[in-house]
Amino acid sequence: MKTKLIPLLTPGEMLSEDFLKPMDLTAYRLAKDIGVPLTRITAILAGERAVTADTGLRLDRYFGLSEGWWLRLQTDCDLRKAKRELGAKIEREVKPRELSAA
């Protein structure tokens, strides 16, 4: 029986669905308000660019979130994606180091 995977929610999808749409904000308005190029926001929304520390801090402040919130979301997404794509291979290739008795 194969496990059904839940689709990964990217930071761009969350930004769009949970912030921009409910707040009736455009990518243009967000980019202008946080002082970044529009292309940066549209690339994040399209899943073509990751949230960087700089962008994350700006989004955290703008939306009143705890510092690092967006960066943690990006890291979590990256880890889940890597585990799905590489988890089995890493488990086969990397054996945990045994601790020696002291």
Higher-pLDDT residue of 6, 83: 83
Considering only 3-7, 8-12, 16-20, 90-94, which range has the smallest mean pLDDT?
3-7
> What's the whole-model pTM score?
0.83
Cα–Cα dist 80/74, whole Å: 10
| CATH numbers and ranges of domains, the chain | 11-78 (1.10.260.40)
CB-side neighbour CA atoms (13 Å) of 75: 7
- Which of 3-7, 11-15, 45-49, 77-81 has the least mean pLDDT? 3-7
Q: Tens digits of per-residue pLDDT, 28-87?
A: 999 999 999 999 999 999 999 999 999 999 999 999 999 999 999 999 999 999 999 998
Helix (DSSP H) and strand (DSSP E) numbers for the chain: 6, 0
Provide the pLDDT for residue 3: 61
Task: Identify the pLDDT of residue 5.
Answer: 63
88-102: pLDDT as tens digits:
999 999 999 988 776
